[in-house]
Amino acid sequence: MGPPSPGSRPCGTRMKTTSPNSARSCPANTSGTRASPSPLASTRRRASAWWRTQTFRTTTSSSSPIPSTNWMIEILSLILKDGDPSWIRSVPIWKRAPWCETVMGAFSLSDQPSPRLMSSHLPIQLFTKAFFNSKAKVIYMGRNPRDVVVSLYHYSKIAGQLKDPGTPDQFLQNFLKGEVQFGSWFDHIKGWIRMQGKENFLFITYEELQQDLHGSVQRICQFLGRPLGEEALGSVVAHSAFGAMKANAMSNFTLLPPSLLDQRHGAFLRKGVCGDWKNHFTVAQSEAFDRVYREQMRGLPTFPWDVPDDASPDPDPSPSPPEASEPPNP
């Protein structure tokens, strides 16, 4: 999940939460006079014109809003600097990879040195059409949606721009109905996964990075056409590790004021693990989730989180809401 940078406002997300169509909702002009271009329209036009000029670029997009995007930003920041950590230690993460759905992010894209990084949680149908005719490269980060629920729940409790998530059960139901920020997780991943097989698209998961960060970084480097030597590769792995990222003030979002991200109620970077949902879902919640998941994902390929882990504990049979002091995973 990418918290808003200081002074930024998500384009078209004036409300606390959004549906898949809300990012396109703009007030109609009923006055009979010619309306001035809205900030959203101006931002889209500027971003669209900018995209048409690009020959190489990397953008990270995550399956619905989840914090794993920031992990990918950290990895890419290090790869583009050949493993040198100076950039990630001196420039805030939201300036290294601006969010294209924020006004300030979109307007700062042209100021970024090439090759550029950008980030987005937008579903594919809302992404600028000019991108699809460019040579930009997309890395899509997927993650077990059950962990996404837990992560987004904690994030919603500390993010100033989002409404209180309510009880864990209420939030789970909203998630399954797509009534969360940026809409349905299922629609999001099904939209972007259609690009799989294209040479400028890489689908990778949080689970794969957790299992083999070294191998995953090599795979990303190959996709970008930026091979690294062993020393540089080792530096990328070491400095993008969860502990290093959590200790880096330029990456842990502690520079943001409490009005945007109130980390007094939980740090933005939480555990950095897979399968934490098992510590929070009840059996009933797990079964309800599985029913919707099977229906929504029918006909799609198997993802890493679809493989059963016999060694993992069963979901908690009794309700146990997530601790408010525990924020979302990176």
For residue 154, indicate whether it is catalytic.
no
CA 131 to each of CA 47, 126, 201, 330: distance values in angstroms, whole numbers, following the listed order? 9, 11, 12, 27
| Crossing angle of helices 283-296 and 185-192, rounded to 10° | 40
The four Cα atoms 293, 299, 302, 305 give a dihedral, to 10 degrees, of -10
CA 18 to each of CA 119, 128, 179, 190: distance values in angstroms, whole numbers, following the listed order? 18, 18, 7, 18
Nearest to 173 by CA among 144, 149, 148: 149
**In a 3-state reduction of DSSP, which class is residue 316?**
strand
204 pairs with which residues across the strands? 141
The catalytic residue among 121, 154, 188, 239 is 121
CA 48 to each of CA 15, 107, 168, 285: distance values in angstroms, whole numbers, following the listed order? 24, 11, 39, 42
Contact partners, residue 188, CB within 8 Å, separation at least 6: 63, 64, 123, 124, 182
Q: Which residues are the active-site residues? A: 121
